[in-house]
Amino acid sequence: MQKILSYPISILYYFLFLFWLCLFHPIQWICFNLFGYNAHRLSVAILNFFLVRNTLILGTTYSFKGREKLPKNVPLIIVANHQSLYDIPPIIWFMRDWQPKFISKKELGKGIPSVSYNLRHGGSALIDRKDGKQALGEIKKCGEFINKNNYSVVIFPEGTRSKTGVPKPFSVNGLKMLYKFAPDAYFAPITINNSWKMTKHGQFPLGLGNKITFEVHEPLKISDYTFDEIFEKTENIITQNIKTK
């Protein structure tokens, strides 16, 4: 019954989702080209506020706990498990004070209103998963960028999304590059739960009535750990708090 009900609701949701993306694309362009970085960053945050609110149509609610643990005015490497695209707008909105950038596949850098523009102009790294040298070079530049400006970068080290909530092994290479080239940063582990339920039927229809939770764990200062130590601690704390039901 719920799945049948979700068909018309999902149509309405996607209509409004596309509306917000198309509306904010020229707004981002104006902010970036006429008023600069801070105006563009604000426009992106407001867009993602609306994208988060848009999921209320689906009965989605959010809990984002632990932000008070995170230091400000220092670079952060936000490491999280990845369950769906619905992981991303809440991170951008609720973590807006830390100005998050993303390690993203290059295909998302074109063709998507608002999203592609922000990825190209907002300081994120667009990587080619088939070209390791290019990918690591882009991650290096992003690490240096956040280290210099005290921004944050979000990386999903599973690489691809978990469709059932069960975490996949974390990849080492991207995190190792950020560890090396953002030496003043903290690793900020975040566990995401229930986001996968939004797409449990695929992209259409969408799941209804889900509570998506984000749990921020204690940050780990890079200079206090070897890479192997911080990698193990980060992966363990994230995966141990994932609920798969």
The mean pLDDT value for 17-43 works out to: 97
pLDDT value at residue 165: 83
pTM of the full structure: 0.94
> What is the pLDDT, as a whole number, of residue 159?
75
DSSP string, 174-239: HHHHHHHH-TT-EEEEEEEESGGGGGBTBSSSPP-S-EEEEEE---EEGGGS-HHHHHHHHHHHHH
pLDDT of 27 above 90: yes
Average pLDDT, the chain: 95
Per residue in 66-107, pLDDT tens? 999 999 999 999 999 999 999 999 999 999 999 999 999 999
pLDDT tens profile 150-167: 999 999 998 777 788 888
Q: Which domains does the chain have, with CATH numbers?
A: 2-239 (3.40.1130)
Q: Are 18 and 24 in contact (CB under 8 A)?
A: no
Ranges assigned E (strand) in 30-166: 61-65, 76-80, 100-105, 125-127, 152-155
With a pLDDT cut of 70, the percent of the chain lying above it is: 99
114: Cα separation from own chain's centroid: 15
pLDDT tens per residue across span 4-25: 889 999 999 999 999 999 999 9
Q: What are phi and psi of 150, to 5 degrees?
A: 60, 40
- Quickly state the pLDDT bin for 176 (edges 50, 70, 90): very high
Q: Are 44 and 28 in contact (CB under 8 A)?
A: yes
Distance of alpha carbon 238 from its chain centroid, rounded? Answer: 15
pLDDT higher than threshold 90 for residue 3:
no
How many C-beta atoms surround the C-beta of residue 164 within 10 A?
11
- Tokens 């039927």 correspond to what residue? 201
Structure tokens at 88: 């991303």
Distance from the Cα of residue 88 to its chain's centroid: 4
Looking only at Cα atoms, what is the longest distance across the chain? 53
